[in-house]
């Protein structure tokens, strides 16, 4: 289980789609999209794959869907569920349908977004019991689960939120959690690894790396031209400027 979290408008879904695209067709995926409908996701996928603006993609899908179809077919390894308030039973049924068709459970399952899951306690933003149930689902299905989630808007803006800003006791079970801060005007997406059971982490999100982001075409890419990548340790960083998370400082 892993989690992508951030405040509203922080490009969580855009990053999720770029991750799915980077994984490619060898990773059969089940995507529970409760936060965005089929038209919105088709538009975003089309823009991401073609470089057209979302407005251009919207017009093409509405007026000439036959032209958009070959592009969208590139995402045929992704099966979608657009239930606005999925229950655990619904998610299990979708996984079983996937297995019936493809002979195995999805290798990657995505829940976008956690707060929409219909489960006792979720309405009060207490996700502890739900996360435990999802852990069982992950083990039984042997699927990698990525959860898209919100952080508290009371957290200071301008940089990725700390781990403490994860809403509703949802941060104990995921093995990896990244938090986001997107700036569409600057064309940047700042990413902090606030939990990582198998590597460097910074719970306070003070050490983050920057990616290039163009939400108009739903595109995100690495940017190590000046600061380097993860925790400023990339090739663009002088040795005396690298951040050592394992040192005393």
Instruction: Indicate which CATH number applies to the domain containing 66.
Output: 3.40.50.300
Structural domain range at position 135: 2-178
Tell whether the model's pLDDT for residue 34 goes beyond 80.
yes
Query: pTM of this prediction?
Result: 0.88
Q: C-alpha angle 218/211/49, rounded to 5°?
A: 25
- Quick one: pLDDT at residue 39? 97
Q: Is residue 59 part of a domain?
A: yes
Q: Is residue 129 part of a domain?
A: yes
- 3-class SS of residue 193: strand
Cβ–Cβ under 8 Å, residues 80 and 41: yes
Tell whether the model's pLDDT for residue 96 goes beyond 90.
yes
Tell whether the model's pLDDT for residue 162 goes beyond 70.
yes
Q: Which residue has the higher pLDDT, 153 or 103?
A: 103
Q: What percent of the chain has pLDDT over 90?
A: 81
Nearest of 27, 3, 26, 25 to residue 15 by alpha carbon: 3
Query: Which CA distances in Å does 98 have to 27, 91, 107?
Result: 13, 11, 11
Distant-in-sequence, close-in-space partners of 44: CB < 8 Å, separation ≥ 6: 13, 14, 17, 36, 54, 57, 218
Q: Which residue has the higher pLDDT, 66 or 235?
A: 66
Q: Is residue 76 part of a domain?
A: yes
- 3-class SS of residue 230: helix
Reported as a single tens digit per residue, the pLDDT across 126-153 is 898 999 999 999 999 999 999 999 999 8
Tell whether the model's pLDDT for residue 226 goes beyond 70.
no
Q: What is the CA radius of gyration of the chain?
A: 18
- Quick one: pLDDT at residue 235? 45
Q: Is residue 190 part of a domain?
A: no
Q: C-alpha angle 65/110/12, rounded to 5°?
A: 80
Residues 85, 89, 95, 98, CA torsion sign:
negative
Reported as a single tens digit per residue, the pLDDT across 191-217 is 999 999 998 999 999 999 999 999 999
Q: Which tokens go with 248?
A: 């005393």
Q: Is residue 56 part of a domain?
A: yes
Q: C-alpha angle 86/11/61, rounded to 5°?
A: 75
Tell whether the model's pLDDT for residue 233 goes beyond 60.
no
- Quick one: pLDDT at residue 133? 95
Q: How many domains does the chain have?
A: 1
Q: Is residue 224 part of a domain?
A: no
Q: Is residue 84 part of a domain?
A: yes
Q: Is residue 230 part of a domain?
A: no
- pLDDT bin (cut points 50, 70, 90) of residue 225 is low
- 3-class SS of residue 77: coil
Mean pLDDT for the chain? 90
Reported as a single tens digit per residue, the pLDDT across 38-85 is 999 999 999 999 999 999 999 999 999 999 999 999 999 999 999 999
- 3-class SS of residue 216: coil
């Amino acid at each position: 289980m892993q989690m992508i979290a951030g405040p509203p408008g922080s490009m969580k879904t855009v990053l999720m789609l770029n991750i799915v695209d980077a994984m490619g067709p060898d990773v059969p995926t089940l995507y529970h999209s409760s936060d965005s409908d089929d038209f919105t996701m088709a538009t975003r996928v089309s823009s991401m794959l073609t470089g057209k603006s979302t407005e251009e993609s919207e017009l093409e899908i509405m007026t000439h869907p036959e032209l958009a179809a070959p592009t969208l077919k590139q995402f045929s390894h992704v099966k979608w569920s657009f239930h606005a308030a999925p229950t655990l039973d619904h998610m299990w049924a979708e996984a079983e349908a996937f297995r019936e068709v493809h002979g195995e459970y999805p290798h990657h399952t995505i829940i976008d977004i956690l707060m929409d899951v219909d489960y006792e306690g979720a309405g009060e933003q207490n996700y502890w019991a739900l996360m435990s149930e999802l852990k069982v689902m992950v083990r039984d299905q042997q699927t990698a689960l990525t959860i898209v989630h919100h952080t508290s808007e009371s957290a200071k803006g301008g940089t990725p939120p700390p781990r403490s800003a994860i809403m509703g006791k949802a941060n104990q079970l995921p093995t990896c959690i990244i938090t986001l801060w997107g700036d569409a005007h600057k064309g940047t997406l700042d990413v902090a690894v606030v939990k990582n059971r198998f590597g460097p982490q910074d719970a306070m999100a003070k050490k983050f790396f920057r990616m290039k982001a163009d939400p108009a075409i739903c595109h995100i890419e690495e940017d190590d031209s000046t600061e380097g990548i993860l925790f400023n340790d990339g090739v663009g960083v002088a040795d005396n400027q690298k951040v050592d998370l394992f040192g005393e400082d």
